Amino acid sequence: MLSDPLIAFLLTNAIGAVGGILLYRLKVPAGAMIGAMIAVMVFNILADSALYPDDIRKYVQIASGILIGSRIQRKDVGELRQVIVPSLLLLVGMFALNLSFAFLFTRFGNLDINTSLFAAAPGGMSDMALIAEDLGANTAQVAMLQLSRILFIISLFPLLFKWLAARGWRFVRPAGWKDAAAGGRFAGVAACATEPEPTYGEAIVESDSAQPRHPPFRLRSIAGSLKFQPESAGRLLLTIGVAVAGGLLLSQVGIPAGAMIGSMMATALLGVSTGKVFFPVRFRPVIQISVGAFLGARMTYDSLLSLRDLIVPAGIMLVGMLVASLGFGYLIHRITGLSLPTCFLACTPGGLAEMSLIAEELGCDAPKVAVMHTFRLIMVILLFPTLLRILSSMLT
């Protein structure tokens, strides 16, 4: 184990970068994030030396918030109202799913009811583990099942959605479907995730609708050329400054995922009100590598061994999440008319940052995915502890 924290942190990021670049080059969906996570996880299990301080994580969340918030334009504000009703439906569905998982965990996984309720809750790993401790649940088991959920989702679901999109989402073709090649009304559904990865230009958004939203450029490296015009540099500094201020403000208030939510909201507000947002999407792989390295650093040899006792609950959770995500996603697609990939990602209970970045990676409507996950996360933290406390007292 490395004794110097700085060396450990730099080595963690270097190893994450190697793994992230490898899978990114292989064009694996969300490859930069998944590759970094796997590489750092293996390094940490073998050497127990991976380090990713929470203070650094806060700024990675802020960067992720900028990436998503900078895509929100004036015309998007009205469209975001579409997600209110589906978000409420999703919340009710997630609570029902939580109860179902908890019952199965206690029946087949030999977990107590308190641990089962919080392990199955669709919230953040650290948030649910801390709240569970107040009720006497097994905090380690809660944290590991929550972590397994995140690992399953960001490792398997992007590949699954890519595969389903390549098949034209045939398993859910509604009446009136026409193939994308024929220009049917559902052509855009498959296109969201089947088109080659877009190569965006310097800016994510421009206030002038006459300007192309994603001017093309040739991607030469994982970050691309980072040459800016003088005026662009000023807008970039303004964007970063506003985002950091918003992220730190909500983080200090104690709002769950406050750094990312505050950054996203501040960036979106700047873009909608002034149109001066500037943040190159070529930073996206770098941000994904950082997120993956953070997740990988949380996996140790002891935590890997403890997973043996959680194989059955984790398996139940994986199958249940897959069925529920596809089912909820298809229902919301039918209600709202949003594309299937966007709905599936919005209904997949992964982390806010991770699912938003995966939506961005697959070319889906990342702002709507981020808003729905933000609503889910905030409502889970606000409502679930009280509801689960009541249920726990009734069932024990």
Find where tokens 């098949």 sit: 167
Predicted TM-score of the model (pTM): 0.63
pLDDT value for 71: 74
pLDDT value for 79: 63
Average pLDDT over residues 272-298: 85
**pLDDT higher than 90, residue 20:** yes
pLDDT value for 178: 43
Distance CA 114, CA 388 (A): 8
Measured between alpha carbons, how far is residue 122 from residues 22, 28, 91, 347 in Å?
A: 31, 26, 9, 11
Average pLDDT over residues 165-185: 48
pLDDT value for 221: 44
Least confident of 111-120, 187-196, 314-323: 187-196
Structure token digits, residue 106: 């206690």
- Alpha carbon distance, N-terminus to C-terminus of the chain: 43
pLDDT value for 238: 92
**pLDDT higher than 60, residue 171:** no
pLDDT digits (tens, 9 = 90+) for 221-244: 444 445 556 667 888 899 999 999
Which backbone phi and psi does 256 adopt, to 5 degrees? -55, 135
Average pLDDT, the chain: 75
pLDDT digits (tens, 9 = 90+) for 325-355: 889 888 888 887 878 888 888 888 876 667 7
Highest-scoring range by mean pLDDT, 200-214, 238-252, 335-349: 238-252
pLDDT value for 233: 84
CA-wise closest residue to 172 among 346, 327, 318, 319: 327
Least confident of 196-200, 299-303, 363-367, 368-372: 196-200
pLDDT value for 240: 93
Contacts of 270 (CB under 8 A, 6+ apart): 238, 239, 242, 276, 277
**pLDDT higher than 70, residue 215:** no
pLDDT value for 229: 65
List domains and CATH numbers for the chain.
Answer: 5-395 (1.20.1530)
**pLDDT higher than 50, residue 95:** yes
- Residue predicted with more confidence, 197 or 343: 343
pLDDT value for 228: 54
Find where tokens 């702002």 sit: 367
Q: How confident is the model at residue 185 (pLDDT cuts 50, 70, 90)?
A: very low
- Residue predicted with more confidence, 395 or 337: 337
One-letter amino acid of 3: S
Find where tokens 């109860």 sit: 99
Cβ(266)–Cβ(335) below 8 Å: no
Cα dihedral 212, 218, 220, 225 sign? negative
Cβ(40)–Cβ(296) below 8 Å: yes
- Residue predicted with more confidence, 319 or 374: 319
**pLDDT higher than 60, residue 173:** no
